[in-house]
Amino acid sequence: MKKGFVSGLLVFAVFCLGLGAPAMGSDIELARKSTLEAILKNGELRVGFEAGYMPFEMTDKNGNFVGFDIDMAKEMAKAMGVKFVPVNTAWDGIIPSLITEKFDIIMSGMTVTQERNLKINFADPYIIVGQTVLLNTKHEGAITDYKGLNDPKFIVTSKLGTTGEQAVKRHIPKCTYKSFETETEAALEVVNGKADAFVYDLPYCVVFMAQQGAGKLIFIDQPFTYEPLAWAIRKGDPDFLNWLDNFLRQMKNDGRYDVIYNKWIKSTDWIDSVQ
């Protein structure tokens, strides 16, 4: 009886191995197809972004790409032992460009949304931001939060195709909304008195206020949305996703993340280098 039991176990084990072999084979094949493997093979990390979103990705006076995301991308390339290759890309085409393999990853202050997540995968969020308001000074005292703008008589601006635009349409639906190709154009519309308010991410509004807002704008700096920013990659790549999450965890625990955060988010010392 004991012998029969042992024989039965052996048969069961062989059966399980037979079932497991195809699964293991497909796992190995999936790993071989990972973007991570292609990056290591090619010796370069191609990073897609749109320069102009302060303080995440910008161009300095010497024509170099700088910013929070750029520094993080350089650290990522260093950790991989490959060359950092910047790929400046128009925002409205950045997701299609990732999908068609024009670059390996989006590192461009992209907010995680369910709509975007249907097309691409996101790593764990690396920073949390929210929408804030830059208000024309003529409304000082009369408007104290975003709700006060919910009227057709108020013109509110933001950038086309961003979560700033989505926030206006969702939270201030009765206002008269105007979209612009760039954040700067949208904000200047308020500075020049052609619009009443500009809605955009907190970090950008902090910088714009420091640069051009004194005496011209009122900063309503309490975010009225919750928005996690994350790196985006093509679907079907668990190995790359796993590496990115572990890289971010390491960055946040060994102090490198804090150095970059303090440089670009807490400080505005870098502003003169990009003006």
**What is the average per-residue pLDDT within 58-69?**
95
Q: Compute the distance between CA of residue 222 and CA of residue 72 in angstroms, rounded to an integer.
A: 26
Peptide bond into 203 cis (omega under 30): no
Residue 14 has pLDDT above 50, yes or no: no
Single-letter amino acid code for the residue at 162: T
**What is the average per-residue pLDDT within 21-28?**
60
8 Å CB contact between 134 and 108: no
Which of 3.30.750.24, 3.40.605.10, 3.40.190.10, 2.60.40.1120 is the CATH number of 35-127+229-274? 3.40.190.10
Q: Compute the distance between CA of residue 209 and CA of residue 45 in angstroms, rounded to an integer.
A: 34
Asked if domains 35-127+229-274 and 131-225 share a fold, the reply is yes
How confident is the model over 83-141, as pLDDT tens digits? 999 999 999 999 999 999 999 999 999 999 999 999 999 999 999 889 999 999 999 99
Q: Identify any residues that bridge with 233 across adjacent strands, giving them in sequence order.
A: 121
Decide which of 216 and 30 is more confident.
Answer: 216
**What is the average per-residue pLDDT within 196-210?**
92
Q: According to the model, what pLDDT value does residue 275 have?
A: 67
How confident is the model over 220-236, as pLDDT tens digits? 988 999 889 999 999 99
Domain range 131-225, CATH architecture: 3-Layer(aba) Sandwich (3.40)
Domain edges within the chain: 35-127+229-274, 131-225
User: Strand, helix or coil at 150?
Assistant: coil
